[in-house]
Amino acid sequence: MNIDEFHYDLPEALIAQEPLRRRDQARLMVIDRASGSIKHDVFKNIARYLPGKSCVVLNDSKVIPARLLGKRQPHGGEVEIFLLKKLADGYSYEALLRPLRRLKTGERIIFNGGKLVAQIKDRDNRVVRFNRRNITAQLNKIGRMPLPPYIKRRDNAADRIYYQTVYARKAGSVASPTAGLHFTSRLLERLKQAGHAVEKVTLHVNYATFKPVEERDIIKHHMHTEEYSVTKKAFEALNKAKREGRKIV
């Protein structure tokens, strides 16, 4: 399967750089599969297009402020560490490092005046080790939200709200599960009142979602793995919907 089959023109001017403050006012394109017709609506009306008594599945993963800007020691040069995955020892992370070519295994990077310190444990495999096991408080204080490459601006305080779904609970993603960004709590309640079931699973989105496909044959493109979990409650609800012939969305 050739990558050219997936090409389409998307003018940069049509890529929103700021989120709507009213999430459910985002535009919704509706394609009638039978006729092939296309019309435009707004997301708050999505219930009009769901099959009756659907089971709507949401990803409750929460985006972490995964970008850290620090200083090399003793040189003082700026370094960006983009956290990708926490490793088994609890202190170390796989990460993207910039500028990678200038860094060496063993170097120390300091953040927030030395309250957080990372050592480059393995430059070639891009592994860093922090001086504390739990860095959540420091991430929440000095970390920056990992906006996608097509957003051509710096992150700001509002992104901590609007680059999250309203139902995000379990921290672990380094990119937002964007399909759910336009749901509001009120809209979800309306779906339930209309007879739809709403269930949650967790899939932590990693940086591979932004990784360019470099192979001409996409079958040869190496996909990274992502961590997921499904509760017993969600598992049983989804299987029940399947047995009853209800659509899972």
- Asked whether residue 166 carries a pLDDT value surpassing 90, the answer given is yes
Place domain 3-63+148-243 in its CATH homologous superfamily: QueA-like (3.40.1780.10)
- Quick one: average pLDDT of 132-139? 94
Residue-wise burial string across 39-71, b where 16 or more C-beta atoms lie within 10 A, e elsewhere:
eeeebbebeeebeeebbbbbbbbbbbbbbbebb
User: CA of 177: how far to CAs of 79, 100, 150, 181, 219, in Å?
Assistant: 27, 28, 15, 7, 24
What pLDDT, in 10s, does the model give residues 6-42?
Answer: 889 999 999 999 999 999 999 999 999 999 999 999 9
CATH 2.60.40.1180 fits 67-142, yes or no: no
For the chain, domain boundaries: 3-63+148-243, 67-142
Measuring CA to CA, which residue among 187, 151, 208 is closest to residue 25?
A: 187
pLDDT tens per residue across span 73-132: 887 899 999 999 899 999 999 999 999 988 999 999 999 999 999 999 999 999 999 999
The pLDDT, as a whole number, for residue 65 is 97
**Ramachandran angles phi, psi of 128, nearest 5°:** -120, 150
CA distance 106 to 244: 58
